[in-house]
């Protein structure tokens, strides 16, 4: 086969027969029409391309995202598709991989991450003109439905939360852990955001907390979505965090340091002065939940509990979105909209109140007219119609149309 790619470079390839050459050439020409691509570079396998791709992406993405990419490729994608050249990877192969992962019992969240990782990798190959198209773009929908997301939500009732916080106060190993759980329950912060708080992020004058960082697997990055935000701090929480700040100040003075270093001190610290460990916090949370005699929930339930209690108190979903740091209100509505109780019922009741106030006299007039019509029978009804000028022969029996008195009341 002898042809030129979209950049004008001449390419010569061998084929087993003339028929095979014509078939391959036809396919190549079709691919060339779809966009620039390099059939020579497309011979590299997925497992050969993946390490290079990871290194080019490393400076651009958060450490937590890089960790997710590396794990997903190593455990899920490369064992199944690693030996396949990029140019021979098909949409059917991608669909088959994702379907097998679902059948194997993996959660939809995990399958969604597998799909997203492969899609981003192949998209970069398209941008680099190695491939003409991304076969992972339309490989099927493997994300959770709105109903599934809502069903997965776990949260404490107000009484259960009070019981858990009281248990944490009495049985947590120190003030830092107890205050951390109280902070999570009163702000709805993600665990990584709370662990990355520094003393300087607290604004006691305006009762707010600045969320600037995120801690994942001992690596500091930006909050989810890459956006900073300010969340409100309750008066109770400010008292608890004031005690933590006082502890940090005492530790600095005891070490012979000045309070100038206080703003950059980690708010919730381990014994070495670093941030608390995510996995150890989760294990402690599980033990405290069990000690309180509550049904087992995960640590993220404190975030869901914060949102549910705000909604029960009548706060708007827009406020909940801002506090939680959702990228759009649609996420908030899809996740927590079903927790808004009786909102529509109250709205229609307000309409009833307004309507009753305006038409109280009208309803009495209608009752009077109804009584006259019932007492006079067909004769009285005919007299009323004739009096206001309507004919006896009517096309409809709807009195709201044929009777002007009722028409004025409607």
Domain containing residue 63: CATH number: 1.10.150.130
- Per-residue pLDDT band at 405 (split at 50, 70, 90): very low
Whether residue 332 sits in one domain with residue 196: yes
Q: Is residue 294 part of a domain?
A: yes
Whether residue 284 sits in one domain with residue 161: yes
- List, as own/partner pairs, every contact residues 233-240 make where C-beta atoms lie below 8 angstroms and the sequence separation is at least 24, other chains included: 233/186, 233/187, 233/202, 233/203, 233/204, 233/207, 233/208, 233/209, 234/186, 234/207, 235/207, 236/182, 236/186, 237/182, 237/183, 237/186, 237/187, 238/204, 238/207, 240/179, 240/182, 240/183
Instruction: Supply the pLDDT for residue 379.
Output: 46
Average pLDDT estimate for 109-123 = 92
Average pLDDT estimate for 264-287 = 96
Helices (H), 133-234: 146-152, 158-171, 175-187, 191-195
Q: Is residue 5 part of a domain?
A: no
Q: Is residue 32 part of a domain?
A: no
Answer yes or no: is pLDDT of 52 > 60: yes
Contact (CB, 8 A) for 219 and 64:
yes
Axis-axis angle for helices 46-57, 108-127 (nearest 10): 90
Q: Is residue 158 part of a domain?
A: yes
Mean pLDDT of the chain: 81
Whether residue 297 sits in one domain with residue 177: yes
Whether residue 171 sits in one domain with residue 286: yes
Whether residue 350 sits in one domain with residue 309: no
Contact (CB, 8 A) for 34 and 123:
no
Distance of CA 17 to the CA centre of its chain: 54
Contact (CB, 8 A) for 299 and 285:
yes
Question: How many domains does the chain contain in total?
Answer: 3
Of 318, 339, 360, which residue constitutes the final position of a domain? 339
Q: Which of 66-80, 119-133, 279-293 has the lowest mean pLDDT?
A: 119-133
Average pLDDT estimate for 226-247 = 95
Of 294, 319, 299, whose CA–CA distance to 309 is shortest? Answer: 319
Between these two residues, 270 and 362, which has the higher pLDDT value?
Answer: 270
Whether residue 280 sits in one domain with residue 194: yes
Whether residue 64 sits in one domain with residue 114: yes
10 Å Cβ neighbour count for 317?
A: 20
Q: Is residue 31 part of a domain?
A: no
Burial label, 305 (beta-carbon count in 10 A; 0-12, 13-18, 19+): buried
Whether residue 308 sits in one domain with residue 248: yes
The DSSP call for residue 298 is: -
Of 143, 161, 177, which residue constitutes the final position of a domain? 143
Give pLDDT tens digits for 158-184.
999 999 999 999 999 999 999 999 999
Q: Distance between CA atoms of 109 and 68, rounded to whole angstroms?
A: 12
Residue with tokens 């096309």: 395
Give pLDDT tens digits for 199-224.
999 999 999 999 999 998 888 888 88
Whether residue 193 sits in one domain with residue 48: no
Of 143, 171, 195, which residue constitutes the final position of a domain? 143
Whether residue 73 sits in one domain with residue 43: yes
Answer yes or no: is pLDDT of 363 > 70: no
Q: Distance between CA atoms of 30 and 23, rounded to whole angstroms?
A: 11
Whether residue 296 sits in one domain with residue 219: yes
Give the domain range for residue 398. 343-409
Q: Is residue 212 part of a domain?
A: yes
Q: Is residue 20 part of a domain?
A: no
Between these two residues, 172 and 373, which has the higher pLDDT value?
Answer: 172
CATH of the domain at 333: 1.10.443.10
Q: Which residues, including other chains, have CB under 8 Å from residue 408's CB and lie 6 or more apart? A: none
Q: Is residue 129 part of a domain?
A: yes
Name the region of 325 (left: φ>0; alpha: ψ -120 to 50; beta: rest): left
Tell me the β-bridge partners of 74. none
Whether residue 356 sits in one domain with residue 227: no
């Amino acid at each position: 086969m002898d042809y030129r790619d979209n950049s004008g470079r001449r390419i010569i390839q061998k084929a087993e027969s003339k028929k095979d050459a014509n078939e391959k050439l036809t396919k190549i020409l079709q691919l060339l029409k779809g966009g620039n691509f390099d059939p020579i570079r497309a011979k590299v396998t997925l497992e050969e391309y993946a390490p290079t791709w990871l290194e080019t992406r490393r400076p651009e993405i958060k450490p937590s995202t890089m960790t997710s990419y590396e794990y997903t490729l190593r455990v899920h994608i490369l064992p199944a598709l690693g030996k396949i050249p990029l140019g021979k990877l098909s949409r059917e192969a991608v669909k088959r991989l994702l379907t097998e992962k679902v059948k194997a019992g993996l959660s939809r969240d995990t399958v969604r991450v597998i799909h997203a990782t492969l899609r981003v990798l192949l998209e970069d190959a398209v941008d680099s003109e190695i491939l003409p198209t991304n076969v992972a773009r339309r490989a099927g929908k493997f994300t959770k439905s709105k109903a599934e997301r809502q069903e997965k939500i776990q949260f404490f009732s107000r009484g259960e939360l009070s019981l858990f916080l009281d248990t944490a106060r009495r049985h947590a190993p120190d003030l830092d852990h107890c205050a951390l759980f109280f902070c999570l329950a009163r702000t709805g912060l993600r665990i990584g955001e709370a662990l990355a708080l520094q003393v300087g992020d607290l604004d006691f004058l305006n009762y707010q907390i600045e969320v600037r960082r995120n801690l994942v697997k001992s690596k500091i990055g930006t909050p989810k979505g890459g956006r900073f935000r300010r969340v409100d701090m309750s008066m109770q929480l400010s008292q608890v965090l004031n005690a933590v700040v006082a502890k940090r100040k005492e530790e600095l003075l005891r070490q012979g340091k000045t309070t100038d270093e206080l703003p950059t001190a980690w708010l919730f610290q381990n014994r070495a002065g670093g941030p608390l460990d995510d996995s150890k916090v989760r294990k402690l949370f599980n033990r405290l939940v069990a000690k309180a005699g509550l049904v087992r929930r995960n640590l993220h339930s404190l975030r869901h509990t914060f949102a549910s209690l705000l909604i029960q108190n009548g706060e708007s979903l827009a406020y909940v979105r801002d506090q939680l740091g959702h990228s759009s209100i649609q996420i908030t509505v899809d996740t927590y909209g079903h927790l808004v109780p009786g909102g529509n019922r109250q709205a229609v009741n307000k309409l009833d109140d307004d309507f009753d106030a305006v038409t109280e006299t009208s309803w009495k007039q209608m009752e009077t007219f109804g009584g006259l019509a019932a007492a006079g029978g067909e004769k009285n009804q005919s007299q009323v119609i004739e009096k206001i000028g309507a004919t006896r022969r009517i096309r409809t029996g709807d009195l709201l149309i044929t009777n002007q008195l009722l028409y004025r009341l409607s």
